[in-house]
Amino acid sequence: MRIALIASLVSALSLFGAAASAQDSVPAKDLFARVVTPTDTAPQSIGFYSRGCLAGAVALPVNGPAWQVMRLSRNRNWGMPSLVNYIERLATDAQADGWPGLLIGDMSQPRGGPLPFGHASHQIGLDVDIWFDPMPNRKLTAEEREQISASSYIRKGTNVTLDRSKWTSAHTRLVKRAASYPEVDRIFVNAGIKKQLCAMAGSDRAWLRKVRPWYLHDDHLHVRLVCPPGNPGCKPQDPPPDGDGCGSNLSWWLSPAPYARPGKPTKPAKPPPPLTLAGLPSQCRAVLSDASVGVAGAEINIPLPTARPATN
């Protein structure tokens, strides 16, 4: 009897090991993209923004009084409760400031993790892309949300030259409002947009520290939140440098240097191997395999605060 039990356990462990080995040979982005529901567990951001996963994700409702989610087919409107809360507050506050409403791009997948295309980050439920284009005064159809493209606010054929026919003071107010909340770690925008924000900021410049120049980001702002309390597995990013970020660092981003094409190598570089489950925090294996899922498309509505943080 004992021999049979031991044999059964050995067989089970062998099967588990074989399954784990098979998973480790598949790119993690493919594994996480296949899962369409979150885990029914406590919300946890696990790992770093560009190397991690997400447990207990909640969905931002695809329609709200001051926002609409785009690209519904991607199923990327998931995040930590703090992110959903932030988006709902920002949308409401920005609308009170005079902005028509937010068009929401990618957040995270139901269980976070690497995405098959579009982003290196957005893996732990703390990143969101918000279009610079305002929300129209009607509900977009599902088809329109797939087909409408975000407008670039950088002149065609340039890397950082702002299209002044599109950018307005209302856009500046939106970015300032987005940066005004204490849970915001940083916001990525195109360097040409950062330059304009520096020029229009006036004497209140503290919020500019959070706004960082980065490649592309000419049609949306990418908001990143800090690791929430009670998430010991969440790895924070180093804080932005002191100051408003309008000096030498921005000057480099505005120069040709960041966009210069490298010379042709004498020997073609070997592409790096794809990130697999073995390269993620160990908890991500359990997140991916967890069978206790909530209702597909589950949404929460978090009460909005009565007071808005000042932006003036």
Ranges assigned E (strand) in 26-138? 44-48, 51-55, 58-59, 63-64, 67-69, 78-79, 102-104, 127-131
Q: Where do the domains of the chain lie, and which CATH numbers do they carry? A: 28-257 (3.30.1380.10)
Helix (H), strand (E) at residue 185: strand 184-189
Q: Walk along the chain (312 residues) and give the pLDDT tens digit of each residue.
A: 445 544 443 443 343 444 555 677 899 999 999 999 999 999 999 999 999 999 999 999 999 999 999 999 999 999 999 999 999 999 999 999 999 999 999 999 999 999 998 888 999 999 999 999 999 999 999 999 999 999 999 999 999 999 999 999 999 999 999 999 999 999 999 999 999 999 999 999 999 999 999 999 999 999 999 999 999 999 999 999 999 999 999 999 999 999 998 877 777 778 888 899 999 999 999 999 986 544 333 443 333 333 444 443
The per-residue pLDDT for range 179-213, each reduced to its tens digit, is 999 999 999 999 999 999 999 999 999 999 999 99
Angle among Cα 297, 303, 304 to the nearest 5 degrees reads 115
Alpha-carbon distance of 179 to 186, in angstroms, equals 7
Q: Which residues contact 157 (CB under 8 A, 6 or more apart)?
A: none
Contact 259, 190 (CB under 8 A): no
Q: Which pLDDT does position 263 carry in this prediction?
A: 76
∠ CA(46), CA(67), CA(298), 5° rounding?
50
Spell 118-128 as b/e; 16+ CB within 10 A means b: ebebbbbbbbb
Count Cβ atoms within 10 A of the Cβ of residue 106 and give its class: 0-12 exposed, 13-18 middle, 19 or more buried.
buried
pLDDT by residue (tens digit) across 113-164? 999 988 889 999 999 999 999 999 999 999 999 999 999 999 999 999 999 9
Tell me which amino acid residue 266 is. T
Cβ-based neighbours of 138, under 8 Å, separated by 6 or more: none
